[in-house]
Structure 1
Amino acid sequence: MSDQNTYAGLTQLGQKADLPASPEQAVLERVPNPQADVDYCVRFTAPEFTSLCPMTGQPDFAHLMIDYVPDRWLVESKSLKLFLGSFRNHGAFHEDCTVMIARRLVELLEPRWLRIGGYWYPRGGIPIDVFYQTGAQPEGVWIPDQGVPPYRGRG
């Protein structure tokens, strides 16, 4: 069981927190991992991720899957939700958004391992899937398949 002081520094959880204007302004927060002596996988699924095309300003949509094996830190989920929501008015290509999210999480958490799958819906008739991971999948940890089928359209 955790001591309340463990969470004293959190600025968003349990409080009103507005959606940040940009990913750069978003504050990602972390909490100590109470099970740091155990290797396990944490999965976040964001099936309605939205950003903007940097050229046209049109919305882009993705299904994001983030898996990580924590070390000393866990990402605080409300801060992650607000961070991901901050992309709603952010113009960047699919690749940039996906890798930016991964790199921010790696910088914050210093996880044993992290991967992200960005399954982007088609624009101009071409779906773009973007994948990033920090290294080889750790042995002895169950990492389920992300389970997102490739885009098939009417084919």
Structure 2
Amino acid sequence: MPKTDVSGLTQLGAATELPASPEAAVLEKVPAGHAGTRYVVRFTAPEFTSLCPMTGQPDFAHIVIDYIPRDWLVESKSLKLFLHSFRNHGAFHEDCSIHIAKRLVELLDPEWLRIGAYWYPRGGIPIDVFWQTGAAPEGVWIPDQGVSTYRGRG
């Protein structure tokens, strides 16, 4: 079994303060120990929060990120801190969702990545945001994200 090189990490195993903003957050990566093997990595953030840029009120989402790595994996503590950095950040749902995905693509250069951001209603309208880098590759099992669209009392 390959040993993961963690020598370049600055946050894992250390006390780390919450970044002041998504731009200030440091996303870190580690070498993928199974480069050349196609598999899906999933991160689920069921309690994601950000702020409405107009009212300052909190917005809540259930976010699911799936990716097929090439040479790199995102280090999970740095991802957690990055996602938490949105708690005091004002941006529309679409901007938050796409920003998260594009930062990961920039960091990792994955074979494929998708994000499903299932936002809870504000003003009576839920907004779900979906984005992926391209068509899902054939021959790789990519499970359904398993998050139902908002149904209210229906």
Task: Give 1:81's aligned residue.
Answer: 80
Q: What letter corresponds to residue 88 of structure 1 in structure 2?
A: R
The reply to whether residue 35 of structure 1 matches residue 45 of structure 2 is no
| TM-score where L is the length of structure 2 | 0.98
Task: Give 2:129's aligned residue.
Answer: 130
Cα distance between partner residues in 1 of 2:99 and 2:15:
26
Displacement of 1:37 = 1.2
Displacement of 1:41 = 0.2
Q: What letter corresponds to residue 10 of structure 1 in structure 2?
A: L
Q: What letter corresponds to residue 23 of structure 1 in structure 2?
A: P
How far does the alpha carbon of each residue in 1:55-95 deviate from its partner, in whole angstroms, 9 at most, with x for none? 00000000000000000000000000000000000000000
Cα distance between partner residues in 2 of 1:113 and 1:26:
23
Task: Give 2:3's aligned residue.
Answer: 2
* Structure 2: gaps (5+ residues): none
Cα distance between partner residues in 2 of 1:110 and 1:73:
8
Task: Give 1:96's aligned residue.
Answer: 95
Task: Give 2:64's aligned residue.
Answer: 65
Cα distance between partner residues in 2 of 1:50 and 1:153:
20
* Structure 1: gaps (5+ residues): none
Identity %: 76
Q: What letter corresponds to residue 127 of structure 1 in structure 2?
A: P
| TM-score where L is the length of structure 1 | 0.97
**SS at the partner of 2:101?**
helix
**SS at the partner of 1:7?**
coil
How far does the alpha carbon of each residue in 1:112-144 deviate from its partner, in whole angstroms, 9 at most, with x for none? 000000000000000000000000001111000
Cα distance between partner residues in 2 of 1:24 and 1:154:
38
Displacement of 1:20 = 0.3
Displacement of 1:106 = 0.1
The equivalences for 1:142-153 within 5 A come to 142-153=141-152
Which 4+ residue blocks in structure 1 deviate beyond 2 angstroms?
Answer: none
Task: Give 2:55's aligned residue.
Answer: 56
